[in-house]
């Protein structure tokens, strides 16, 4: 039997992305997105420090975005 094995960090990222999808399904708010980022920022840091360092300033500018769907799409592309 040939089964692909996932390590813990892969599974955590899968759950993190699932939760991000659920946020969009239930209606995006700035508060919900900031809360999500606060919960998962260490996961993102462990995955890629250079990308994490770019993500922080991007999230800090969330209030400058008029359209949260656009922010979500950019954020999603940065965390996957």
State the Cα–Cα distance between residues 20 and 42, nearest whole angstrom: 15
Indicate the domain borders of the chain.
8-79
pLDDT of residue 44: 87
pLDDT of residue 3: 54
Q: What is the pTM of this model?
A: 0.82
pLDDT of residue 1: 45
Q: Render each residue's pLDDT in the chain as its tens digit; 80 residues.
A: 445 666 777 888 889 899 999 999 999 999 999 999 999 999 888 888 999 999 999 999 999 999 999 999 999 999 88
Q: Are 34 and 62 in contact (CB under 8 A)?
A: yes
């Amino acid at each position: 039997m040939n089964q692909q094995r996932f390590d813990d960090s892969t599974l955590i990222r899968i759950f993190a992305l699932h939760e991000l999808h659920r946020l969009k399904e239930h209606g995006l708010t700035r508060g919900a997105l900031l809360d999500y980022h606060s919960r998962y920022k260490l996961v993102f840091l462990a995955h890629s420090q250079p990308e994490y360092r770019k993500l922080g300033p991007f999230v800090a500018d969330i209030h400058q975005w008029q359209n949260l769907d656009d922010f979500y799409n950019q954020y999603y592309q940065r965390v996957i």
